[in-house]
Chain A
Amino acid sequence: ETGVTQTPRHLVMGMTNKKSLKCEQHLGHNAMYWYKQSAKKPLELMFVYNFKEQTENNSVPSRFSPECPNSSHLFLHLHTLQPEDSALYLCASSQEVRIGQFFGPGTRLTVL
């Protein structure tokens, strides 16, 4: 049990759909992250939130919209996605630099 949960675990959506991914951490951490993992590529950091404030957006297309209402919850809102957005989306959290990140199980997203 990692203390970081993600829902849904699997999602299939059409290119015109709107959906949201949810992440919740039960570790009392202050920072939360969204990563994208595609086949045969390193994890790509998408967004970082520190104390609910977004501190980094790594040139992610606007069809991905993050939301962090509090330090325990993180959402990724999806709209008009492309087939190449199909990937495993991972959420992580950390307290500070010296502790490292704890990951959730991921959401497997397929865009048709």
Chain B
Amino acid sequence: KQEVTQIPAALSVPEGENLVLNCSFTDSAIYNLQWFRQDPGKGLTSLLLIQSSQREQTSGRLNASLDKSSGRSTLYIAASQPGDSATYLCAVDSGGYQKVTFGIGTKLQVIP
């Protein structure tokens, strides 16, 4: 059974700082890994999707990496802004429509 862990559970940083969020998973046989952002009481917004054959994906100030062999992914946020404050979720797709496992998320607060 796939298990996804996100560390830290919460993070508070001053504006402008670069930061890294971590996601680890127990079964390396994955199809893809997706990072989401969730604002309080809202749905999930997809940030980056990394296919199993890829090592990283970039979108603006965000960069996500994937190391399948070690069961790890990181989300790097450059020059953080207060608008980046949200909960960031990692989801691992182990194959098929139903085999997606989510982490509990990292709650990020960027202080002005």
Contact = CB atoms under 8 A, between A and B. Distances in A.
B104 to A, nearest CB: 5
Q: How large is the interface on A (under 10, 10 to 19, 20 to 34, 35 or more residues)?
A: 20 to 34
Interface string B77-111: 00000000000010101011110111110000000
Contacts of A55: 97-98
Contacts, number: 63
Contacts of B34: 100-101
Contact of A42 (B32, B46, B51, B102): B102
Interface stretch (B18-26, B35-43, B58-66, B68-76): B35-43
A89 to B, nearest CB: 10
Interface residues of B, number: 25
B49 A2 contact: no
A94 B32 CA distance: 13
Interface SS of chain B: strand
A108 B36 contact: no
A68 B34 CA distance: 26
| Most B CB within 10 A of own CB, among A2, A42, A55, A102 | A42
B43 to A, nearest CB: 4
Nearest to A57: B98
Given A45-B98, A97-B95, A97-B96, 4 more contacts: A90-B44, A94-B97, A101-B100, A103-B44
Interface of A: 2, 4, 6, 31, 33, 40-43, 45, 48, 50, 55-56, 88, 90, 92, 94, 97-106, 108
22 contacts: A2-B43, A6-B43, A33-B97, A41-B104, A42-B101, A43-B89, A43-B102, A45-B98, A45-B100, A50-B97, A55-B97, A88-B41, A90-B43, A98-B32, A100-B46, A100-B49, A101-B91, A103-B36, A103-B45, A103-B46, A105-B43, A106-B43
